[in-house]
Amino acid sequence: MPPKPLCLVSSCLLGLCTRYDGKGKQNDECLRLLSAYRFIPICPEQLGGLCTPRPPASILGGDGHAVLDGRARVLDNYGRDLSASFIKGATMVLAIARMQDVRVALLKSGSPSCGSTPTIGVTAALLQREGIEVRSF
């Protein structure tokens, strides 16, 4: 029997405490879907060097694509520019995807990194540019 396909999954969707508030966000629908995959948990904000807990952040002036193109910025609620950390984290996630030839990512909605709804985040945007399917939970 061929091995199950490999996917990336936002670590907080598994219940790991990687969110800005030091909590996880376990998603049972995502966990059910994961039974069809082998998976690699990722947290782009931690891979970008940010710690947990951390101040909440949001994209100012656009979406994740605009951040990647230098037309918008990620700011935390103290006004600190975290764009470089977010782009670094996205780049690290993409490197992992390429290393393992991953074609699907199950990512947390509403995040300036992982979100693809309602606004696309920095990591989701970079993965989509590379043709990786992003599913939102």
Cα-Cα-Cα-Cα dihedral sign, residues 57, 62, 64, 69? negative
Lay out the site mask for ligand SF4 across 44-83 (x = CB under 6 A, - = otherwise): xx--------------------------------------
Q: Would you count residue 88 as binding ligand SF4 (CB under 6 A)?
A: no
CB neighbour burial string for 115-127, b if at least 16 within 10 angstroms, e if fewer:
bbeebbbbbbbbb
- By CB under 6 A, the count of residues binding ligand SF4 is 12
| Residue 134 binds ligand SF4, judged by CB under 6 A | no
Amino acid at 9: V
Going by C-alpha positions, the residue among 88, 87, 127 that lies closest to residue 104 is 127
**Contacting residue, 8, 14, 18, 63, with ligand SF4 by CB under 6 A:** 18
For residue 39, what are the β-bridge partners? 7
Q: How far is the CB of 1 from ligand SF4 (least distance, A)?
A: 30
Beta carbon of residue 95, minimum distance to ligand SF4 (angstroms, whole number): 16
